[in-house]
A and B are shown apart, each in its own frame.
Chain A
């Protein structure tokens, strides 16, 4: 077919059709994601947990800090679906409220790490002169196992929920910088970047309009996967006693407390642990699905 389409040889009704058929990149990705069973399963798990956490004040059957000594160590029953702990508090209610803290920790850690990491990664990939300094700093951070790094940061900042979030965020930054820098390096060599440079468009505009939208897809995938990892890391810190402190109903902290009563009341550790596992699984499924949906090779 010839490349020429003139207004003369096109049926007006077809023009109408053409207009409506135009799909942006994100619409195509959305369509592909909806077809991915894993991603949909992950989304349902996440919607379930996020919904439960958001509606916890309304839905939770018991207050989280009401101690009833006669109800200590009750196994799961119709009254207390997931049992009670050593102070007679309802575990289901505490898990629902704990979800708010755990998910918030993941959100804050991923946001801090994501914004910092993307900015550093874009600078590193676009301005090659600064590259070596940023990347060597990141290599130093990457040399430590992330949990060890987080523990070291908490040792400096002090124990607590906020510091745990910051510690997790810092330990996640290098993976963002690496991914974004790699993507920017491949995109800045593309001819469309050269074309806008030849037009004299400023560096800032090139980065915001042309480079950033094209590195967005790996960032989205990474964020989804890091969400799970961050929640796990935050829970691990709380389990070690470095994050949320009892009586805060954080999942990691609840599992930690339950550990002492593992033989008498297995449900105290099992259910918070299960919640962590399911949320992380949900994020990983969604992340894998997003990676497939955003993969340009499938286009």
Chain B
């Protein structure tokens, strides 16, 4: 058994909806509504789901870029949600984030050397300016960029190169966990593969643990050990990659799988198409939040929230279909 790094249990992040000049709360958007998972060191967890299902908010809540409403996040056995400012700074050195949009994630006014140098100086890595400069140059080479480019500004780089700089910034502080928030979805397909390979190389070299957020199943399949499928703020299925792809159990996962295009025009495939749109997360449906779009919906689904059921070791599904009480 590998050393456990991160344990998230019943994480909830609700955003208040404020109306009027008095800013009264009229309700909550339940962006993340009870997400639990465990992650061992060196593993990669892929989180997939439609846009607006709370994938990014989950990532940011773990990092405490957004303060979660309730639940617990334990990093190396230590509770993260209640850390003080000073302790949080130490945690920042351990956990880093790579963003989706490489055009928005680099400050356009400063050179990339100074972007990377800031990461080092904040955590007092390197004795003096000269040493930090050398580390910056090594970082650039490590992510496959030329040292000569250090004094350039972000607008002089392509999307793929910018994403490499974003990765360099994340690994600059030598973290253990990196949350990658759709790091390849803004890139061309040819560049996507390069960036994914870079992620994998760095994982091997540095023993990194990833939480890899994506909406593209093929990307997640390529990089993950475990996969969590999210729908409307909840994790509806959580399993190892092989389990999930060979035996997708939740009706939502099955629908997602059937939407993956097969590169063979002759192959006939049964498509499960979902009806309608994702419901409003401020007023989620009663019972199972997926029941409005589910093609295996039963009466019980409309009233009672499903429990997490472990159908095989490490394969958890949140669905009444697998609950012996209703079948």
**Cα distance A23–B92 when bound, in Å?**
33
Task: State in angstroms the CA–CA spacing of A198 and B175 once bound together.
Answer: 12
Chain B binder among A14-22, A40-48, A71-79, A251-259: A14-22
Q: Which A residue's beta carbon lies closest to that of B109? A: A213
Contact of B119 with A by CB under 8 A: yes
Q: List 12 A-B contacts (CB under 8 A).
A: A2-B160, A2-B190, A3-B144, A3-B164, A19-B148, A25-B108, A191-B101, A194-B99, A199-B169, A201-B118, A210-B109, A214-B108
A24-B88 contact given A1-B158, A195-B166, A195-B169, CB 8 Å threshold: no
A195-B166, A209-B118 are contacts. A200–B92 as well, Cβ < 8 Å? yes
A211 nearest CB neighbor, chain B only: B107
In the bound complex, do residue A2 and residue B105 qualify as a contact, i.e. CB atoms below 8 Å apart?
no
Is the CB of B123 closer than 8 A to any CB of chain A?
yes
Please give me the residue from chain B that is nearest to A10 by CB atom: B146
List chain A positions with a Cβ less than 8 A from chain B: 1-7, 10, 15, 18-19, 22-25, 190-192, 194-201, 209-210, 213-214, 299
Is A194 a contact partner of B65 (Cβ separation < 8 A)? yes
* Residues from chain B with Cβ under 8 Å of A22 in the complex: 151-153, 156
Known: A22-B152, A213-B109, A299-B155. A198 touches B92 (CB 8 A): yes
- Interface: B1 (CB within 8 A): no
Judge if B93 is at the interface, Cβ distance under 8 Å.
yes
A24 to B194, CA, bound (A): 29
B104/A191 in contact, CB under 8 A: yes
CA distance A196 to B109 in the complex (A): 14
Contact among B60, B123, B144, B173 for A6, CB-based, below 8 A: B144
Contacts of A15 in B (CB 8 A): 146, 148
Tell which of A4, A195, A199 touches B194, judged by Cβ atoms closer than 8 Å: A4
Chain B residues near A (Cβ < 8 Å): 60, 63, 65, 88-89, 92-93, 95-97, 99-101, 104-110, 118-119, 122-123, 144-149, 151-153, 155-156, 158-161, 163-164, 166, 169, 173, 190-191, 194-195
**A6: chain B residues within 8 A (beta carbon):** 144, 146
Given the contacts A195-B166, A196-B118, A214 and B148 also touching, CB distance less than 8 Å: no
Chain A residues positioned under 8 Å from B89 (CB to CB): 200
Q: Is the CB of B146 within 8 A of A3?
A: no
A233 to B106, CA, bound (A): 41
The minimal Cβ–Cβ distance linking B114 to chain A, given in whole angstroms, is 9
Residues on the A chain within 8 Å of B119, using CB: 199
**CA–CA, A23 and B111, complex, Å:** 10
Contacts of A25 in B (CB 8 A): 108-109, 153, 155
12 additional contacts (CB under 8 A) given A5-B144, A18-B149: A2-B190, A3-B164, A10-B148, A19-B151, A22-B153, A25-B155, A191-B99, A195-B97, A195-B166, A199-B123, A199-B173, A209-B118
